[in-house]
C-alpha cells in the first residue's frame, strides 16, 4: 500500500492515437478537497484524461504524479486509492443493491464488506431497498448505488465521467450533496460533465478543454455557462 497523497500533478500530458492528438500538453495541479470540472464539447479529450488519471491508459508523453509517485511506481497500491464511475455503472442487475456492494467490497479486499455496504446504502437513502434487485431501480437509484460502489474502499481520488446524465432534478441534487460530503472528507474529485447548471457553484476549479488542449481563460466571473461559451469559442 502506498502512502496517502493529497496532491495530483499533471505535467505536459499528451495522448496520441496515430496522428490524432486526443490530449496535447495538458498541465494542472489540484489538491485534496478540490472538485475539478473537466468541461468541453464531445471529443475534447475529457474521457481520455480521466482514463489516464485512473491509470487505465498510459500517456504518450508527460507525467501524472499522485503525491510523489507515478502510476508505474504506485502500482496496485495506488489504484486502491482511486475510485471511478463512468458511463457503465458496473452493477449486476440480477443482484440486490446489498449483494452488489458486498461483491465489490470483497473484490477490493475489504474485511468488513457487508458492514460497509450496509452503511453505504443507508447513507445513499436506499437502506429500505437494500434487498431489492437493482433491475427494479430507477436510473437515479442505480447511479447512487454505483457512486457508493466507487467510494466503498474510501479512495483519495474520485473520477466521474458524466455522473449527472439522465438524472432528474432531485437525483442530481442528491448527488451534489454526496459529493460535498466527500469533499469535506478530503477526497479529490475530478469530474467531466456537460451539466453546467448543476455544477455551477459546486466546482472549486474549472478546466476548459477544446481539441485536447486546455484553454487559458483566467479566473473569470459570472455564470459558468457563459464562461464555458467564452472559453470554447475563443480564437
Buried b (16+ CB within 10 A) or exposed e, 36-72: bbbbbeeebbbbbbbbbbbbebebeebebbbbebebe
pLDDT given at position 133? 98
pTM of structure: 0.94
What is the tens place of the pLDDT at every residue in 93-118? Answer: 999 999 999 999 999 999 999 999 99
User: From the DSSP assignment, how many helices (H) and strands (E) are in the chain?
Assistant: 8, 9
**Cell matching residue 143:** 447511479
pLDDT given at position 233? 83
CATH 3.40.50.300-classified regions of the chain? 1-81+156-235
CATH of 1-81+156-235, one of 3.40.50.300, 3.40.50.2300, 3.40.50.970, 3.40.50.720: 3.40.50.300
Question: Rounded CA gap, 121 and 156, in Å?
Answer: 20
Residues of the chain with pLDDT under 70: 1-3, 217-220, 235
Contact 181, 154 (CB under 8 A): no
Indicate the SS3 state at residue 192.
strand
| Neighbour count for residue 235 (Cβ, 10 Å) | 2
Q: Nearest Cα to 87, choosing from 189, 170, 6, 159?
A: 159
Residue 76, classified by CB atoms within 10 Å of its CB into exposed (0-12), middle (13-18) or buried (19+), is exposed
| Strand ordering across the sheet containing 82-85 | 82-85, 157-161, 188-192, 35-39, 205-210, 213-214
pLDDT given at position 87? 87
Amino acid at each position: 500500500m502506498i502512502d496517502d497523497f493529497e496532491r495530483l500533478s499533471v505535467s505536459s500530458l499528451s495522448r496520441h492515437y496515430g496522428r490524432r492528438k486526443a490530449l496535447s500538453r495538458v498541465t494542472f495541479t489540484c489538491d485534496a478537497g478540490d472538485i475539478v470540472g473537466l468541461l468541453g464539447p464531445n471529443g475534447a479529450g475529457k474521457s481520455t484524461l480521466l482514463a489516464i488519471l485512473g491509470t487505465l491508459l498510459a500517456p504518450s508523453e508527460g507525467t501524472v504524479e499522485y503525491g510523489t509517485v507515478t502510476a508505474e511506481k504506485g502500482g496496485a497500491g495506488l489504484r486502491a486509492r482511486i475510485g471511478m464511475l463512468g458511463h457503465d455503472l458496473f452493477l449486476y442487475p440480477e443482484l440486490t443493491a446489498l449483494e452488489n456492494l458486498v461483491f465489490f467490497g470483497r473484490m477490493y479486499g475489504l474485511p468488513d464488506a457487508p458492514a460497509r455496504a450496509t452503511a453505504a446504502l443507508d447513507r445513499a437513502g436506499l437502506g429500505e431497498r437494500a434487498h431489492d434487485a437493482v433491475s427494479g431501480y430507477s436510473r437515479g437509484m442505480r447511479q447512487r448505488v454505483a457512486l457508493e460502489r466507487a467510494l466503498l474502499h474510501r479512495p483519495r481520488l474520485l473520477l466521474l465521467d458524466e455522473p449527472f446524465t439522465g438524472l432528474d432534478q432531485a437525483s442530481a441534487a442528491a448527488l451534489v450533496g454526496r459529493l460535498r460530503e466527500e469533499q469535506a472528507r478530503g477526497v479529490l474529485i475530478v469530474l467531466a460533465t456537460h451539466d453546467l447548471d448543476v455544477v455551477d457553484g459546486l466546482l472549486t476549479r474549472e478546466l476548459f478543454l477544446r481539441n485536447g488542449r486546455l484553454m487559458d481563460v483566467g479566473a473569470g466571473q459570472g455564470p459558468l455557462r457563459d464562461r464555458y461559451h467564452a472559453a470554447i469559442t475563443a480564437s
